[in-house]
Amino acid sequence: MAIAAIGNGGPSIQTSERQMVLPTNLLTGIVLAAVGYWAGVQLGNSFGFNDGLNTGVLLGYVFASIMFLVGLGFANYPLARLFGWPVAPQSSYDEHRGAWRYLNLSLDHKVIGIQYLVAMLMAMLFGGIGAMLIRTSLLSPDQAVVSPDNYLTLVSMHSVMMIFVASAAIVGPFGNFFVPYMIGTNRMAFPRIEALSFWLVPPAIVILLASPLFGGFPTGWTGYAPLSEQAGQGFDSYIVGFTLIGLAICLSGVNMLTTVMCLRAPGMTWTRLPIFVWGVFSTSILGAFAAPVLASALSMQALDRTINTSFFISSNGGSNYLWENLFWFFGHPEVYIFILPAFGIVMELIPHFARKPLWGYRTAVVGLLGVTLLSWFVWQHHLFVSGIAPALRPFYMLSTEMISIPTGIVFLVAFGTLWRARISMTVPMLFCLGFLFNFLIGGLSGVFLSDTPSDVTLHGSYFSMAHFHYTIVGGEIFAIVAAIYYWFPKMTGRMLNMTMGKIHFWWMMIAFNLAFMPLFAAGILDMPRRVSTYLPSLQGLNDWVSIWAYVLFSSMIFFAINVIWSWFFNTKLAPADPWHARSIEWELPTPLPARNFDRVPTFTRAPYDYGDPQGARPSVDLGPEPAPA
Amino acid sequence: MSPRAYSDQSRGMPALERLPEWTPEVDARLARVGIWVWIGADVTFFAAWFFAFFYLRALNNNNDWMAAGVTHPTRAIGAAIFLLFAISAGLFWVGARSVVSQRATALIFFWLALAAGIACFVVQIYEFRNLGFDPQMGGGYPSVFIGMKGAWLIQVVGSMLWLASNIAQTKPNGDVTVRPASATFFGYFLVFLAGIGLISYVVLYFV
Amino acid sequence: MSRTDRTHALRLLVAWAVLSVIGVVIAMQVHLPPGNQSQQSTDTTGLLQLMLVISTPVFIGVVLFILYSAFAFRQKAGALEDGPAYHGNFRLQVAWVAITAVIVFILAGLGISGLAATSSGTNFTSSTQPALATASVGTTAADRLQVQVIAQQWYFTYRYPAYGGVESLHLILPVDSNVVIHVTSTDIIHSFWAYQLGVKADANPGVDNLAYVTTLHTGSFTVRCAELCGIWHGNMVDTNGAVVSQADFATWIAGLQKAGATQVLPPYQPFYFPSPRVKGT
């Protein structure tokens, strides 16, 4: 049974990552991780710092992660180099076919894409369960269901897990799988780094899930100090888990940037790049350069919690503003990391289902790059009421308002493409239109928040919660679902059931809007974020929201059933081009050959060349047959 | 565990280098662009530390940026740490230039670079144990000093390990000899790290 | 633009105009909080109303376009025709960007003007400290009542330095007064949010964060913490805040002074530095 539609290619040209002392695979990784955790705890506690045993837990997690990666085989290549063994370059597709390569270190970008897809869906499930528990607690205005510290742990777990998902859920599965195809190459720039960026994610998820065993942590995803310094060992999960994800974002960004800059095939000029690749590229700029600031700030948190430095303690020369500024300097580009690939997906899919070229392609690119540039200059809008210097507020208000200009360009381009089109209302298209509606609301609510005088009332309330759920869930998650329905046939060789898909769309769209729209009202009516109690007059509203949240969750379960059934129980092979789309990945067969291109392709046309009076022509020349040897 | 497990030539398969996506020219270009992007990312990493320095110093909360009794550590030792690493970076750079034409000479430079780097590490550890202040007593400056230098040191250790592996691969048919570009661009990273060492020396010991 | 283009465009524009007018009329009727108890809350309500009115035609336009396209520009059943190969229209793109930019700059300008001063008479005054210093915003000007809000886990205490530093667990303010609130904390970050007064300011240890209120009407208000501060964050609420007449305020504070300031807090300082926590406690 094939996990993915990656068939048997020609003779394999492969130098496999052979074992060093032990066979390197997932099982070895898990065993070594346990050993590493134990060793780290012993070492950390032996220093005798006055640290509430944080050093042990932190070192335990760090050693566990490193040993996990060693056990998987990531140390093989560096050690082979170190021992002076010949190291030929690795090919980017696997010698061994079979399902086990999905559970091990693989350098094939297609395998890594599938691995990411499964990991992201599982993490979303965990985060979603957290959300259901939160909404259950909020059925009652008192702390009748869940105790206050458990509630905060639920909030923190849900939010941090979803942040992990949102950071990588588009670039991970779809960027890694399709960018090499779209630019016409067989490889990513650094396949080992690509694999590493994936394999950092499971340890991060496990470490985060371990947090409740140590008492959880009360800070939410923003990790504000000094509250974080009151937290017990549960907060160490946040530090290490978020560092691993930050490293994954950074490495993925470096890899993607280098790949797109260097490995484009002849004819694939910057002005012919599919807009999805532009979305991934612009996100990678933010990922590569913002994530290191997070790593730096998290190490300061770690030092404060172990050797008692005082980065964030104002009575000892530190400042809570240091964390706030460093965190949000990363945190704002982070939310654009969420949405830029989503813009890429929506602008990629609409032309194919409207059967028209992407209207205003260059404007779209300017829009994506404009968002990328401006996102560095807005972070203090999270700090309008924090007590920052008053003279800063006008600048950040202006920059934040200005970022709605390039964001609006996405709507312009989408509308231009829909104008006079021939729209096929397929399931991916429905989700793209849903994206446009949801992101409109999310974006408009952002304008309310960006104006400082109104932000005074709205900051820290459910209004801001509704804003970011509309943009991230209504925006990015809808785009992810669209991408799954769209690209599933090419990635797995199976079509998802489209009747279930249409039901899923309406179920999810209605439930999402009915669940989150009232939260704007809750915020305006004096309900702050992250609370388990609220005014009794708001109970009706909260109960309504909770019920529709359950309905929304069940729609995702329905989707999961569709995915699992279609992937594993439906044996019908999908057609090579079910959407009749003109894009390189659809011009290749299903199942995809193990080696993307046997000869260097030449791109001869711009993408989205619908409406061409000469009729459809292939956009790429897959090269002449090689001369007989 | 035979080393031959890592080479295709022994298995009678066509050399990978003949595939268009694996030619040394492609690898060289990827190494050049990749190292610049990585250096850019590392710039923002260290920028966050420098921000912490200047921000906490400006705030001087509770007059505890540099509490009474805390002084800058000895400048001579700080200079030694920076200079040793700069020498290491310089030696490696020179070696990498000639690794194809004069492999034996390049190897000597690489070994000296490694020695300088290890010496830098040793001196830094010595300095951490003889700071003249205890970061556990709090204070803004001690915290930033330990954090910034510690982060830099971790990257020094990582780059010395990679340098050692480059030494091991500087032999006939070794990775560095067949693909010298990756060694050249690794040299860029060492120079960058030395540059950060210089700036942090000035900031931490004189400001 | 072809004749069909113009037909579609005209239909859309007319529908948009009609629906927008209806929408704006409805938006203007919506009663938005936080109310009019202070100058700041009055102006916040006005600003929220304005943004709702501006958002309404935008929202209607986008939704109308999506729905119209979904019905008017459909692929015929079973067919697979391409649409026309429109690649863009430079003037239209420039016009869109220009119009969005103008709206954005107008909103930004209004917001910034609200940040420029805190005295009443300026539209959309914000409770935040003014961005531009003017003569009327001295923090120790005699015409302003100084109140210190001290946040800690998990309640607020209010101190009136001008009246001998008397402390109270409920915030009582006189009507028709300019008040400067000094928000600070003795442990971690909290946020002082007086909903009906339209004031929010974070409470940071070691920081004196200023907020400005000009009270207009008597009545009660609720104070909550708006920054996550641990397990009882949601319980950090006081519904007994009140704006009272000046005479009532004088009586009340005289009563507090007679009772003697309850020294539950450290001696008065502009801000407080918490002592270092011991890890693991």
> Which residue does chain A place closest to C223, by CA atoms?
A526
Q: Are A221 and A245 in contact (CB under 8 A)?
A: no
Token pair 């909103």: residue: C107
Q: Which residues in chain C are closer than 8 Å to B136, comparing Cβ atoms?
A: none
Residue A445 identity: S
Q: Report the C-alpha gap between B49 and B65 in whole angstroms.
A: 15
Res A404: pLDDT? 93
Residue A15 forms contact with C (CB below 8 Å): no
Q: What order of strands is seen across the sheet that includes strand C172-174?
A: C172-174, C237-244, C219-225, C190-194, C199-203
Work out the minimum CA distance from A208 to partner chain C, whole angstroms: 19
Token pair 């790593």: residue: A295
Q: Report the C-alpha gap between B57 and A540 in whole angstroms.
A: 50
Q: Is residue A624 part of a domain?
A: no
Mean pLDDT by 10 residues, chain A (629 residues): 44 42 85 96 89 91 97 90 80 66 89 96 97 94 84 95 97 97 92 95 97 94 92 94 98 97 92 96 98 97 92 92 97 97 97 94 96 96 90 91 94 95 95 97 95 90 96 97 97 95 98 97 91 90 96 97 95 92 90 84 86 73 60
Q: Is residue A56 part of a domain?
A: no
Point out which residues pair with A528 in neighbouring strands. Answer: A461
Q: Report the C-alpha gap between C279 and C37 in whole angstroms.
A: 44
Q: Which CATH number fits domain C138-259: 3.40.50.720, 3.40.30.10, 2.60.40.420, 3.40.630.30?
A: 2.60.40.420
Closest CA to C187 of C173, C168, C207: C207
- Please enumerate in sequence order all residues whose Cβ is within 8 A of that of C109, keeping only pairs 6 or more positions apart, or say none: none
Query: For A299, which of B56, B142, B151 is closest by C-beta distance?
Result: B151
Work out the minimum CA distance from B62 to partner chain C, whole angstroms: 7
Q: Which two tokens stand for residue A83?
A: 């021992």
Residue A626 forms contact with B (CB below 8 Å): no
Strand C172-174 versus strand C237-244 pairing type: parallel
- Please enumerate in sequence order all residues whose Cβ is within 8 A of that of A459, keeping only pairs 6 or more positions apart, or say none: A384, A385, A449, C200, C226
| Alpha helices (runs of H) in chain B, residue ranges in sequence order | 24-59, 75-97, 103-129, 140-168, 175-178, 180-206
Q: Report the C-alpha gap between A335 and A347 in whole angstroms.
A: 19
Residue C277 forms contact with B (CB below 8 Å): no
Q: Is residue B198 part of a domain?
A: yes
Q: Is residue B145 part of a domain?
A: yes
Q: Which residues of A127-146 are buried (b: 16+ CB within 10 A; e: fewer)?
A: bbebbbbbbebbebbebeeb
Instruction: Read off φ and ψ for residue A503, nearest 5 degrees.
Output: -60, -45
Q: Report the C-alpha gap between A441 and C12 in whole angstroms.
A: 20
Q: Is residue B163 part of a domain?
A: yes
Q: Which residues in chain C are closer than 8 Å to A452, comparing Cβ atoms?
A: 111, 114-115, 126, 128
Residue A378 identity: V
* Distances in whole angstroms, Cα of residue B111 to Cα of each of B116, B163, B165, B167, B189: 9, 9, 11, 7, 18
Residues of chain B numbered 169-188 and touching chain A (CB < 8 Å): 169, 171, 173-175
Q: What is the DSSP letter of A99?
A: G
Query: For A390, which of C83, C87, C131 is closest by C-beta distance?
Result: C131
**Cβ–Cβ below 8 Å for C206 and B138:** no
Res C268: pLDDT? 74
Q: Are A126 and A205 in contact (CB under 8 A)?
A: yes
Using CB atoms within 10 A of its CB, is residue C12 exposed (0-12), middle (13-18) or buried (19+)? middle
Res A94: pLDDT? 59
Residue C134 forms contact with A (CB below 8 Å): no
Q: Which domain holds residue B166?
A: 48-60+73-206
Q: Is residue A27 part of a domain?
A: no
Please count the structural domains in chain A.
1
Q: Report the C-alpha gap between A14 and A493 in whole angstroms.
A: 25
- Cα A611 to chain centroid, rounded: 34
**Cβ–Cβ below 8 Å for C131 and A418:** no
pLDDT, greater one: A292 or C115: A292
Residue B154 forms contact with A (CB below 8 Å): no
Work out the minimum CA distance from B153 to partner chain C, whole angstroms: 27
Strands (E), A210-369: none
Q: Report the C-alpha gap between A548 and A575 in whole angstroms.
A: 37
Interface test with C, best of A366, A386, A419, A431 (most C CBs within 10 A): A419
**pLDDT confidence tier of residue C264, bands split at 50, 70 and 90:** low
Closest CA to A479 of A508, A444, A456: A508
Closest CA to C205 of C226, C222, C229, C180: C229
Q: Is residue A73 part of a domain?
A: no
Q: Report the C-alpha gap between A524 and C199 in whole angstroms.
A: 13
Q: Are B25 and A99 in contact (CB under 8 A)?
A: no
Q: Is residue B42 part of a domain?
A: no
Instruction: Read off φ and ψ for residue B74, nearest 5 degrees.
Output: -55, 125
> Which residue does chain A place closest to C70, by CA atoms?
A423
Q: Is residue B67 part of a domain?
A: no
Query: For B7, which of A88, A316, A318 is closest by C-beta distance?
Result: A88
Residue A18 forms contact with B (CB below 8 Å): yes
Residues of chain A numbered 40-79 and touching chain C (CB < 8 Å): 50-54
For chain B, residues with pLDDT lower than 70 are 1-20
CATH assignment at residue B54: 1.20.120.80
Q: Report the C-alpha gap between C237 and C222 in whole angstroms.
A: 7
Closest CA to A379 of A323, A445, A444, A314: A323
> Which residue does chain C place closest to A608, by CA atoms?
C85
Q: Which residues in chain A are closer than 8 Å to B139, comparing Cβ atoms?
A: 310, 316-317
Please count the structural domains in chain B.
1
**Cβ–Cβ below 8 Å for C206 and B61:** yes
- Cα B150 to chain centroid, rounded: 13
CATH assignment at residue A219: 1.20.210.10
Closest CA to A88 of A24, A194, A17: A17
Average per-residue pLDDT for chain A? 91
Strands (E), A28-184: none
What is the number of CB-based contacts under 8 A between chain A and chain C? 309
Res C137: pLDDT? 45
Q: Which domain holds residue A276?
A: 106-597
Residue C274 forms contact with B (CB below 8 Å): no
Residue C32 forms contact with A (CB below 8 Å): yes
Say if residue C117's pLDDT is above 80.
Answer: no
Residue A387 forms contact with B (CB below 8 Å): no
Token pair 């530090």: residue: A239
Average per-residue pLDDT for chain C? 85
The DSSP result for C105-120, as a single string, is HHHHHHHHHHHH--ST
Which other chains touch chain A, taking contact as 3+ CB pairs less than 8 Å apart? B, C
Q: Which two tokens stand for residue A422?
A: 């021939």
Instruction: Read off φ and ψ for residue A386, nearest 5 degrees.
Output: -80, -10
Q: Which two tokens stand for residue A435?
A: 């994206």
Work out the minimum CA distance from A360 to partner chain C, whole angstroms: 4
Residue A521 forms contact with C (CB below 8 Å): no
Residue C27 forms contact with A (CB below 8 Å): no
